[in-house]
């Protein structure tokens, strides 16, 4: 059998993190592969240093797309990836998640009759208002192989009429990534000392989704809730600030309340150290809902829906929305829960299952 050539497409920090175990599995098996980075996340703090943190190769191709409207960003990525795929002629293109990069990468490959593998297939929020929902559904329906992280995700694909022969239950590569990187974070990171934090005596918060930060009342409610929570518990809330969030806070003439420790975006190992030692995390991130579940850290999600229902069923996560009082109540609820829930995202072997499936079906 001739050697297979694999293209891995990434564009954002979470994609790089979740794709890193697959990259390492390709390296371990001495497979022919290369990375395309759309640069949808384009600041060094958000993704450039992630390659060093994770000890993975830098991309062969960087599209330097940057920000823009959904149409502009997706169109630029589609045009630029198409040229690379025509030149490189890979056997399969792997995309991960639900970003504009994922949709553009899948469309480019589909139109060139190149096989597509969608990692983290089958996630559904059932909210068409989320651009990510549109991206993930379309990517799934383009794909030749759908790597579903959970049984729920697999069933969502089957219900949509997709062939079970194309769906592989893998577990989530974020489990692989945490198991590979948490020991490094514990040995290398000095972030707790830098910010003068005691383990289990601070909260961690991230929020960046447009539906939250582009909406002044919602953003104001989130900031108010964080201030009240810090005052009630007399603990700091550490908030690595996303550039979009900072921009909107300034634009809406808002301010961080007392007790919120605003810090710049940081590398993955430092963030993993902060996350794994927090008392509780408040976030609107999908990936962080998964990570906190795996790390046995309570999570309060600042959204009305989630494409990670497994975290709700496990008991690690609760949906608070953006009402200030509801957020405070949810924090109280989660702090009273036992944190010995079961991880629903697999054993940390997802990358090996994905590569086995690609090789067996090539």
| Active-site residue, 141 included | no
DSSP 44: I
Residue ranges with strand state E in the chain: 5-10, 32-37, 61-62, 92-96, 115-119, 145-148, 167-169, 203-206, 237-240, 260-263, 280-283, 299-301, 317-319
Residue 156 CB partners (closer than 8 Å, separation 6+): 122, 123, 124
Region of 307 (left: φ > 0; alpha: ψ -120 to 50; beta: rest) is alpha
Among the options 37, 41, 118, 208, which is catalytic? 208
Residue 266 token pair: 């940081």
Q: How far apart are CA 27 and CA 352, in angstroms?
A: 12
What are phi and psi for residue 220, nearest 5 degrees? -60, -40
Q: How far apart are CA 11 and CA 107, in angstroms?
A: 15
Residues known to be catalytic: 208
């Amino acid at each position: 059998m001739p050697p297979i050539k694999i293209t891995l497409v990434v564009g954002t920090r979470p994609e790089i993190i979740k794709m890193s175990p697959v990259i390492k599995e390709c390296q371990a098996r001495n497979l022919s592969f290369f990375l395309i980075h759309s640069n949808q996340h384009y600041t060094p703090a958000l993704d450039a240093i992630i390659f060093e943190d994770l000890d993975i190769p830098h991309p062969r191709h960087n599209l330097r797309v940057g920000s823009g409207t959904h149409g502009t960003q997706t169109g630029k990525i589609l045009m630029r990836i198409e040229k690379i795929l025509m030149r490189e002629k890979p056997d399969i293109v792997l995309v991960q998640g639900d970003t504009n990069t994922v949709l553009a990468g899948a469309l480019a490959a589909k139109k060139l009759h190149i096989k597509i593998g969608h990692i983290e297939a089958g996630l559904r929020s059932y909210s068409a208002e989320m651009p990510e929902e549109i991206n993930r559904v379309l990517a799934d329906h383009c794909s030749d192989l759908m790597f579903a992280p959970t049984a729920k995700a697999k069933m969502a694909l089957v219900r949509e009429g997709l062939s079970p022969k194309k769906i592989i239950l893998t577990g989530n590569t974020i489990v692989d990534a945490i198991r590979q990187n948490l020991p490094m974070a514990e040995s290398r990171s000095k972030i707790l000392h830098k910010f003068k934090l005691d383990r289990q005596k601070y909260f961690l918060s991230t929020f960046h989704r447009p539906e939250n930060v582009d909406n002044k009342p919602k953003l104001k409610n989130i900031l108010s809730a964080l201030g009240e929570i810090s005052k009630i518990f007399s603990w700091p809330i550490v908030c690595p600030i996303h550039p979009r969030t900072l921009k909107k806070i300034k634009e809406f003439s808002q301010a961080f309340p007392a007790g919120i420790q605003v810090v710049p975006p940081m590398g993955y190992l430092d963030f993993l150290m902060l996350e794994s030692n927090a008392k509780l995390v408040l976030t609107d991130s999908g990936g962080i809902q998964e990570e906190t579940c795996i790390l046995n850290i309570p999570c309060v999600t600042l959204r009305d829906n989630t494409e990670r229902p497994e975290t709700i069923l496990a008991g690690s996560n609760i949906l608070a929305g953006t009402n200030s009082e509801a957020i405070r109540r949810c924090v109280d609820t989660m702090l009273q829960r036992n944190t010995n829930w079961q991880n629903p995202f697999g054993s940390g072997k997802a990358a090996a299952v994905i590569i086995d499936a690609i090789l067996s079906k090539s």
